[in-house]
Chains A and B, each alone.
Chain A
Amino acid sequence: MSIDRSAEMVGPATPAVTGSPTHRASLWRRLARDRFALAGGVVVVAYALVALAAPLVTRALGVDPYTYDLDALGPTGAPAGPAGGISSEHWFGVEPLTGRDLLAIVVMGSRTSLLVGLGATVVSMVVGTVLGLLAGYFGGWVDWVVARLIDVLVGLPALVFMIAIGAVAPGWFPRLLLLVLVIGLFGWSSIARVVRGQTMALRSAGFVRASRALGASPAHVLFRQVLPNLAATLVVFTTISIPGAIGAEAALSFLGVGVPPPTPSWGRSIGDAVTWFSVDPVYLIFPGLALFGITLAFNAFGDGLRDALDPRSAAPRRRKGGAR
């Protein structure tokens, strides 16, 4: 339901600096022990495969998300028959008013969700990492500017702003790109904050000081020395940001300012279901389950990954100020 908040969960317990091969091996062992996280990972992979092969899947099932089937509708426009028009022809039933196959819509909707989720996360990660690195490394006025940018971003009710932008954006602008940019640009503050903290801690580390003393440029130090040490943090943030971005796309589409019809979107189907769900609750259930499933899977996996990367969150100890 929100943009930035699931990312907040990793805020306080950020992973330690990691990267050695032995560490990585024990990481996989720890992750393999966490069955809940492992199940999440498997579900994520399954969704990704379905999304990648969506046109093949719908063709194999003989359904299409754009084809109207008015014969499947009753006289009121609600699906004919019980349970939302579920039949041998339409396994998940049909969309009210149009009779489009709901299974096809749910399958193709996974593309929209994952595309916007991944795209927006990439935008937030890049912006947040770069600004966090700069602020943490250079300090001074750079840090001040980034801190004020974060203040402004936190002061904005993100969803309200996104709705307003979605409402007034010109029609020629590609809608999916708009969603990716808007959701991404509203989601980088927590990443920037954590990267800034870790960069500040690393700035005084021996290997960074040594490479500076040898005359390395700031770009080299930042991207070759500091950034690789943030890999664990970035991986966890990416995993946990994706469901947030997917939720944001669905929320905007639910409100009618996201993906326009006829492009399939789970959020928009749920939004359409609002007017129908007293007569046709099935129309709400399938897109809703699809959305809930992917979000839960990503969160479970990201959570397990965080625990695996950061043994401290499993065995708590007094934290040093790094991530503040």
Chain B
Amino acid sequence: MTLVRFLATRLATLAFVLLAVSFLTYALFVLLPADPAQLACGRPCTPERLETARAFMGLDKSVVEQWWDFLRGVFAGRTFGSANATLTCPSPCLGYSFVRNAPVTELIVGRFPVTASIAVGAAVLWLVVGVGAGAVAAVRRGTALDRGLMIAAITGVSAPSYLVGLLGILLFGFTLDMVPVAGYVPFATSPVDWAWHLVLPWTVLALLSAAIYTRLTRSQMLEELGSPYVRTARAKGLSERRVVTRHALRNAAVPVVTLFALDLGVLLGGTVITERVFSMPGLGALLMEAVGATDVPLLVGVTVFTAALVVVANLAVDVVHGALDPRVRHGGSSR
């Protein structure tokens, strides 16, 4: 029962956040003066032609109506224009890029695998490295290893990922010639080449984010290791390994999971930079191309899509969170 309630609340929040985010994005971009109709109107751009272009793109309506059209398009698809000249954008339609003459959804689907490959690999690596290093530092508290790991962590937090990425390319790509310096190979083409091209981006993105997790895990672990239940577990005669992994680490993981949920948006932001540094054609690159061409529908579409990704992933993390910590399920606030 409580689990159902928990999920229902989270789903309601999810729907609310998505609506708010899409509206914000929409309102912002419609209110700002970059005018897609003006760009598509061609030269000479007479007022009549501009009006026609506006009506064709649906820009002659109010912001709220445009937002509504956008939302409806996601579920029911959209048709631009009328009678003899129409463009169809099948559902789920995230808008239509008049600059590229293609539905935004199609463009996003084409680029998404690249971003997903970077983000998922980096996230796995950063959680494993971060939590592992944090737990080790806590268990070896006060030793040179602990101090070294903490200094490494604060250095990692401070280093800009693009700087480390570029230096990585310089060292491992150009000088040592160990890994490819740029580009992306689809998994289906060659899994080995796929991974080989991603090794450096994963490492760079993961190592820097891992630093924060190292610090958080360490402080949480120290707290758990000093708590009565750990003493009880030790008194029961459990092996130290079991006390650390099964008891302390599991409880220390709860705030780590919370932070991970908060960081998903950061991860996607990080892939924008990573894609730029390693010349990979993902969503971030698509976004930057949209920026370069002032392609507003594409900008809106990519922004709303990434926001949706973050929100949905947040829900997934919440469910994991609920599984780890019963207090979350029973209405206690976790944040």
Residues of B within 8 A of A193 (CB): 335
Q: Is B227 interfacial (CB 8 A cutoff)?
A: yes
- Contact with B219, one of A4, A5, A12, A243 (Cβ below 8 angstroms): A12
A292-B159, A324-B333 are known contacts. Are A5 and B303 too (CB-CB below 8 A)? no
Beta-carbon contact of A161 and B270 below 8 Å: no
Measured CB to CB, the nearest residue on chain B to A293 is: B158
Which bucket holds chain A's interface residue count?
A: 35 or more
Beta-carbon contact of B212 and A157 below 8 Å: no
A3-B266, A154-B314, A284-B166 are known contacts. Are A251 and B160 too (CB-CB below 8 A)? yes
Comparing A116-124, A226-234, A315-323, the segment that makes contact with chain B is A315-323
From 268 to 287 in chain A, residues with beta carbon under 8 angstroms from any chain B beta carbon are: 270-271, 273-274, 277-278, 281, 284
Nearest CB of A to B176, in Å: 14
Comparing A48-56, A75-83, A165-173, A216-224, the segment that makes contact with chain B is A165-173
Question: What is the predominant secondary structure among interface residues of chain A facing chain B?
Answer: helix
Beta-carbon contact of A169 and B32 below 8 Å: yes
How many angstroms between the C-alpha atoms of A148 and B24 in the bound complex? 14
From 23 to 44 in chain B, residues with beta carbon under 8 angstroms from any chain A beta carbon are: 24-25, 28-29, 32-34
How many angstroms between the C-alpha atoms of A246 and B259 in the bound complex? 21
Residues of A within 8 A of B169 (CB): 277
Nearest CB of A to B16, in Å: 7
Comparing A19-27, A60-68, A201-209, A295-303, the segment that makes contact with chain B is A295-303
Beta-carbon contact of B174 and A278 below 8 Å: yes
How many angstroms between the C-alpha atoms of A60 and B320 in the bound complex? 59
Q: Is B194 interfacial (CB 8 A cutoff)?
A: no
How many angstroms between the C-alpha atoms of A1 and B263 in the bound complex? 12
Beta-carbon contact of B160 and A247 below 8 Å: yes
Nearest CB of A to B321, in Å: 13
Beta-carbon contact of B219 and A164 below 8 Å: no
Measured CB to CB, the nearest residue on chain A to B296 is: A168
Beta-carbon contact of B219 and A317 below 8 Å: no
Beta-carbon contact of A251 and B162 below 8 Å: yes
Beta-carbon contact of A170 and B166 below 8 Å: no
A13-B219, A170-B32, A317-B226 are known contacts. Are A5 and B302 too (CB-CB below 8 A)? no
Beta-carbon contact of A163 and B223 below 8 Å: no
From 179 to 202 in chain A, residues with beta carbon under 8 angstroms from any chain B beta carbon are: 193
Q: Is A311 interfacial (CB 8 A cutoff)?
A: no
- New A-B pairs, 8, CB < 8 Å, besides A160-B303, A163-B287: A5-B209, A8-B259, A11-B259, A151-B16, A160-B268, A168-B32, A274-B277, A313-B219
